[in-house]
Amino acid sequence: MPLYKAKCSQCRVIMRSASRGELLRRMRKHQMAVHRAWLLARMKAGARRSVVENPSIQDMIAALGEGTRAGLAVATRMRAARYQELKRVMDALEPVLPDHIRLSWRAIEAAHDAIIAIKGRR
């Protein structure tokens, strides 16, 4: 059975364990006990970053109301899974959308797919 070893990035304490799961549990327990403020700040920073980098569907619909350029800016910041979810929602809403928003969405969808094809899949 292999012995797993890890080092705390804050205080360089070395921990060993027979299983990977046990090692990760011990590391989290150590960090919550000794470096609580640092760990919580890191969690909060990650949550803030995910909101900025991965806009919601509501953000996209609001941007569509502003115009095609704003919508495309939001769509290019979306991650692939969120964009696919947005496409399903917009396909369902398309029959009831006003004409200018429907046209904006179709233009954004075509432009986004072309950008992804050029850049390669994220």
Does residue 26 sit in the same domain as residue 68?
A: no
Q: Where would I find the beta strands (DSSP E) of the chain? A: 4-7, 14-17
Write out pLDDT tens, residues 79-115: 888 889 999 999 999 999 999 999 999 999 999 888 8
3-state secondary structure of 78: coil
Residue 52: its H or E element: helix 36-53
Does residue 60 sit in the same domain as residue 85?
A: yes
Does residue 40 sit in the same domain as residue 87?
A: no
Does residue 41 sit in the same domain as residue 13?
A: yes
Does residue 30 sit in the same domain as residue 64?
A: no
**CA atoms within a 13 Å half-sphere pointing along the CA-CB vector of 14:** 4
- Domain range enclosing 58: 54-119
Does residue 111 sit in the same domain as residue 60?
A: yes
Write out pLDDT tens, residues 37-71: 999 999 888 877 766 677 888 888 899 989 899 99
Average pLDDT over residues 6-16: 93
- What pLDDT, on the 0 to 100 scale, is given for residue 113? 86
- What pLDDT, on the 0 to 100 scale, is given for residue 1? 64
Taking the C-alpha atoms of residue 52 and residue 22, their distance in angstroms, rounded to an integer, is 34
Residue 29 near residue 16, CB atoms below 8 Å: no
Does residue 109 sit in the same domain as residue 59?
A: yes
- What pLDDT, on the 0 to 100 scale, is given for residue 47? 77
98 vs 2, higher pLDDT: 98
